[in-house]
A and B are shown apart, each in its own frame.
Chain A
Amino acid sequence: MGHFHSEIREGIIVSSKDLVEIVFHGRGGQGSVTAANLLVAAALKDGNKGVQAFPVFGAERRGAPLRAFARISEEEIHLRSEIYFPKIVIILDESIIEIVDVLKGLKKDGKILINTTKKPGDFNFSKKYSVATVDATGIALKYDILVGGIPVVNAPILGAIPKILDRVTLPSIQAVIKNKWKGEGGEINVKATQDAYDSVEVNF
Chain B
Amino acid sequence: MTLMIDTGNYIAAKAAIMAKPDVVAAYPITPQTTLVEGIANYVKTGEFKGEYICVESEHSAMCACIGASAAGVRTFTGTSSHGLLLMHEMLHWAALARLPVVMCNINRVVGPGWNIWPDENDSISQRDTGWIQFYCSSNQEIFDTIIQAFKLAENEKVLLPVMISYNAFILSHTSMPVEIPDQKEIDDFLRKRKSKWKLDINNPITFGNIILPADYEKIRKDMQNSSENAKKLIPEIAKEWKKKFGRYHGDLIERYKCENAEYILLAMGAIGAESKVSIDNLRKEGLKVGLARVRTFRPFPKEDILKLGKQADLIVIDRNISVGSEGALFSEVKASLYDKSDTKVYGFIAGLGGKDVTYNDIEIICKKAIKGKVKDCEWYGLEGV
Contact = CB atoms under 8 A, between A and B. Distances in A.
B175 A40 contact: yes
B173 A81 contact: no
A85 to B, nearest CB: 10
Contacts of B171: 80
B5 A51 contact: yes
Contacts of A124: none
A36 B176 CA distance: 12
Contacts of B270: 80
B116 A58 contact: yes
Contact of B175 (A10, A50, A52): A52
Interface stretch (B39-47, B310-318, B349-357): B349-357
A49 B357 CA distance: 24
Interface residues of A, number: 35
Interface string A71-89: 0000001111110100000
Given A6-B381, A78-B277, A81-B274, A54 B360 contact: no
B372 interface: no
B5 A44 contact: yes
A11 B360 contact: yes
B144 to A, nearest CB: 14
A57 B281 contact: no
A14 interface: yes
Contacts of B275: 78
| Interface of B (DSSP majority class) | mixed
Given A51-B177, A54-B169, A80-B273, A9 B360 contact: yes
Contacts of B32: none
A128 B113 CA distance: 43
Interface in B170-223: 170-171, 173-177
Interface string A34-50: 00110011001000011
A11 B359 contact: yes
Given A40-B5, A57-B170, A13 B281 contact: yes
B358 A81 contact: yes
A55 B306 CA distance: 40
Contacts of A98: none
A104 B359 CA distance: 19
A32 B274 CA distance: 25
A80 B175 contact: no
A57 B359 contact: no
Contacts of A52: 174-176
A61 interface: no
A55 B358 contact: no
A7 interface: yes
Nearest to A15: B280
Given A4-B354, A15-B281, A78-B277, 5 more contacts: A5-B356, A77-B176, A78-B275, A78-B276, A80-B273
25 contacts: A4-B355, A5-B356, A9-B360, A12-B281, A13-B277, A14-B281, A14-B284, A15-B276, A15-B281, A36-B175, A37-B5, A41-B5, A51-B175, A51-B176, A51-B177, A53-B175, A54-B169, A54-B173, A77-B176, A78-B275, A79-B359, A80-B137, A80-B273, A81-B358, A84-B358
Interface of A: 4-16, 36-37, 40-41, 44, 49-55, 57-59, 77-82, 84
